[in-house]
Amino acid sequence: MSYTSAIYLAIFLPVTLIAYQLTPKKHRGKILIGASAVFFWSLSKWLIVYLAGAIVVTHYTAIGIERAREAAFDATPDEIELRQEKSKKILRLGILLVLGTLVVLKYTNFTFMNVTQLLRSFGSSIVYKPHRILVPIGISFYTLESIGYLLDVHWGKVKAIQSLEKTALFLGFFPKLMEGPICQYSDLEGTLFNNEPLQFENLKRGMLRIFWGMFKKIVIADRLAIIVNSIYSNYSDYHGGMILFAAVGYTMQLYMEFSGVMDIVIGTAELFGIKMPENFRQPFFAKNATEFWQRWHISLGKWLKSYVFYPVSVSKTVKKWNQFGRKKIGKFWTRVGTSALALFPVWLINGLWHGPFWNYIFYGMYYFTLLLIEVSIEPTWKKWMKKIHVDMKAGWYRAGQTVKLLCIVFTGEMFFRAPGLKAGFTMFGNLFKDFSLAPIFNGALEHYGLERMDLNVVVWGIIIVFVFDILKEKNKLSYEEFNKLALPVRWSAYYALILAVIILGAYGEGYQAIDLIYAGF
């Protein structure tokens, strides 16, 4: 059962809504927890014990941290220091348990295989055979949520949850379980536990968001997946324009699917009156790679910024570097070094978080390098542009920024999707061999499973989505603004969206169900 499956949309979700509404207010949280358990079980069966374990560890660790931090009014400085040290020890133990589980399940084979290969390069005869390790759905998401919550309690930003039921709902709430967004406790505490009855406005708003997500996922992304998978599976056979098409096509597939699924899960939560944070904000309208990552997978970026970037930025290592740099090497290189120290762990974790593969690590280092360059040269670049009287808000300049950003993003996603780092470099090299766009326009794409009708649906679907993104970027499209339109206009849009999903969706005879990309992370 996934967020786009018929059983989820036609059976699971309606039954959950009815049960939630018919249950007394104080017990509605139990309905959501029960639904979350059913959802998890449908995907990972007995591996639900890992989620249950994470919930229990997180709950009692947070309570232990808070109790250790609470100092009596008449406590001495030494007593307060002891309490803080005890809080840190409990925090470390909790993080070790939840993070250790993730590391063991996802990275054991990767680690031992690479260590073995390294030893063999020095003459060792050791052979490591990968073991089949079952990984529960959503572990990368709820692990980060658990760690973030424990750190927030330790820092005194939030109070520890005293109810195990509420902790279970925070970590296991089914709409965000499979693909996020990665929520901080402060994102949800205002609405997650209210148990308010269903309201017509929430139902209407949520369903509209769900159908919009379905349009992006099954009308556009699932069609693109047909040819994207075909090219990437036989990447060495293609050159030039076809590699470019694969890179652009996968980027569009990923955006339409991931943002579409976020629409579905945020819309699902909205049915219950629960507000979840946005995960995308028109990323292709960014001016540079830094801003792109402030608009793409926002919740992951926010988590890394809050729990990795900031702590590293104020660490003793960075402070010592700043003191050394100001005295020995000057402001510019000090700033570069400080940025590198803070950004490196962020992007290493970003790459590893996606999975135990070298192309993901390369992907993280790719953006680390680009962002470090941007941070390093941006002040000087702006001064130079001002000096030669270049209007950085001019249309031609913004167009150049957009082209540069698209080249960066398409290249990064090509390595991200490639079946291995070596494959990524092969594709990058093939991109410049026998370059021709003819296969894209002469009907050759039909030989790869994407018929002309499908291609037309994809092109017009992407155009529609980006027109809406333009309106959102200009603050001319919101639910409130849409609701002000005349009734015939609104209902025409509702029916057009619903019919597009029903009639044009890539399902049924001739199509295979496409797994959610981020469900694998």
Here the tokens at position 215 are: 């349009």
pLDDT reported for residue 261: 94
Pick from 53, 50, 261: nearest CA to 137? 50
How does pLDDT run across 282-341, given as a tens digit for each residue? 999 999 999 999 999 999 999 999 999 999 998 889 888 888 888 788 888 888 888 899
Here the tokens at position 237 are: 């056979």
Every domain of the chain and the residues it spans:
6-197, 201-276+451-521, 286-431
Query: Contacts for 397-404 with beta carbons within 8 Å, 24 or more apart?
Result: 398/287, 401/287, 401/288, 402/284, 402/285, 404/288
Provide the residue type at 428 as one letter.
F
Q: How far is CA 204 from CA 155, 217, 494, in A?
A: 39, 20, 10
Residue 146 has pLDDT above 80, yes or no: yes
Residue 125 has pLDDT above 60, yes or no: yes
How does pLDDT run across 34-46, given as a tens digit for each residue? 999 999 999 999 9
pLDDT reported for residue 89: 92
Q: H/E element holding 390?
A: none
pLDDT reported for residue 179: 87
Q: H/E element holding 469?
A: helix 452-473
Pick from 501, 499, 493, 480: nearest CA to 201? 480
The 3-state DSSP class for residue 296 equals strand
pTM for this structure? Answer: 0.91
What is the C-alpha separation between 421 and 24, in angstroms, rounded? Answer: 54
What is the C-alpha separation between 515 and 300, in angstroms, rounded? Answer: 21
Mean pLDDT of 33-62: 95
Percent of the chain scoring above 90 in pLDDT: 57
What is the C-alpha separation between 437 and 242, in angstroms, rounded? Answer: 7
Supply angle C-alpha 94, 99, 100, rounded to 5. Answer: 95
Here the tokens at position 192 are: 């997650």
pLDDT reported for residue 509: 61
Mean pLDDT of 491-497: 88
Residue 151 has pLDDT above 90, yes or no: yes
Judged by average pLDDT, the poorest of 186-200, 204-218, 229-243, 252-266 is 229-243
Q: What is the DSSP string of 414-428?
A: HHHHSSSHHHHHHHH
What is the C-alpha separation between 23 and 43, in angstroms, rounded? Answer: 26
Here the tokens at position 143 are: 């692990």
What is the C-alpha separation between 247 and 69, in angstroms, rounded? Answer: 51
pLDDT reported for residue 132: 85
Looking at residue 160, the DSSP 8-state letter turns out to be P
Residue 489 has pLDDT above 90, yes or no: no
Q: How far is CA 423 from CA 217, 236, 239, 414, in A?
A: 27, 8, 13, 10
Here the tokens at position 290 are: 């830094």
Mean pLDDT of 448-460: 82
Strand partners, 280: 296
What is the C-alpha separation between 514 and 506, in angstroms, rounded? Answer: 9
Query: 168: pLDDT confidence band, cut at 50, 70 and 90?
Result: very high
Q: What is the DSSP string of 42-70?
A: HHHGGGHHHHHHHHHHHHHHHHHHHHHH-
8 A C-beta contact, residue 13 and residue 175: no
Pick from 32, 285, 307: nearest CA to 153? 307
Burial of 363 (0-12, 13-18, 19+ CB in 10 A): buried
Burial of 394 (0-12, 13-18, 19+ CB in 10 A): exposed
Mean pLDDT of 146-158: 95
Query: Quick one: angle between helices 358-387 and 395-417, nearest 10?
Result: 170
Task: State the distance between the two ends of the chain, measured CA to CA, in whole angstroms.
Answer: 17
8 A C-beta contact, residue 386 and residue 327: no
Query: 512: pLDDT confidence band, cut at 50, 70 and 90?
Result: low
Query: Quick one: angle between helices 241-271 and 452-473, nearest 10?
Result: 60
Instruction: Give the largest CA-CA distance in the chain.
Output: 82
**When comparing pLDDT for 168 and 130, which is higher?**
168
Residue 74 has pLDDT above 60, yes or no: no
Mean pLDDT of 379-399: 83
